[in-house]
A and B are shown apart, each in its own frame.
Chain A
Amino acid sequence: EVQLEQSGAEVKKPGESLKISCKGSGYSFSTYWIGWVRQMPGKGLEWMGIIYPGDSDTRYSPSFQGQVTISADKSISTAYLQWSSLMASDTAMYYCARGTSGITRIEFWGQGTLVTVSS
């Protein structure tokens, strides 16, 4: 059974750093694209970026380029999303998602990680 298990909710202060994770199981982690999707409170889904764990090929949506870093450690089947300096506007639910047929569709999602940034 394919599963994506995300790390737990985080409460951080502006300016702090953060790294959240997404551990895949039940499939060959290296051979499927993993993406990160943001949902701000009351707003829609947004692609932040995607990574192919097999060779770490990483692509960012223009709005997120330079704002976050996406990485993966295929040895432990885990993808990461990190911030070096959080802002209040980073408060959101973050989902990881596994692509099928490249990244043309998403059949498997993590349960979501709620990140709250507040002073």
Chain B
Amino acid sequence: QSALTQPASVSGSPGQSITISCTGTSSDVGGYNYVSWYQHHPGEAPKLIIFDVNNRPSGVSNRFSGSKSGNTASLTISGLQAEDEGDYYCNSYTSSRIPVFGGGTKLTVV
């Protein structure tokens, strides 16, 4: 059970859109519509921003959206804001009946 593959870092300017990919296998991302995304700022607990591939929890900005194609899921953040800086992790349920995280992506708003 290997970690899902994410780019180590992405960057964008305020107002722009960025997309973070999350690649797994047919045993995790491709096999289940149970991909979730978390925003993590140092010193805080992670925050759920997308669940079940493309659903937003109540209170999460509609600037965050998710999608999936085959074994790859994606998180898109539109209208980038400085407060979006942080680490982003994808997560998927797996055939081993235990979830797996991606390696994490550091988002910089330049």
- Interface residues, chain A, with chain B CB atoms under 8 Å away: 35, 37, 44-47, 49-50, 59-62, 95, 100-107, 109-112
Contacts and interface: CB of A to CB of B under 8 A. Distances in A.
Interface residues of B, number: 26
A59 B97 contact: yes
Interface of B: 1, 3, 32, 34, 36, 38, 40, 45-46, 48, 51-52, 57, 87, 89, 91, 93, 96-104
B45 to A, nearest CB: 4
Contact of A103 (B1, B46, B99): B99
Contact of B46 (A59, A62, A95): A95
A45 B104 CA distance: 8
B105 to A, nearest CB: 9
A103 B101 contact: no
B48 A50 contact: no
A72 B38 CA distance: 26
A105 B57 CA distance: 11
B90 to A, nearest CB: 10
Contacts of A101: 34, 51-52
B46 A106 contact: yes
A60 B97 CA distance: 10
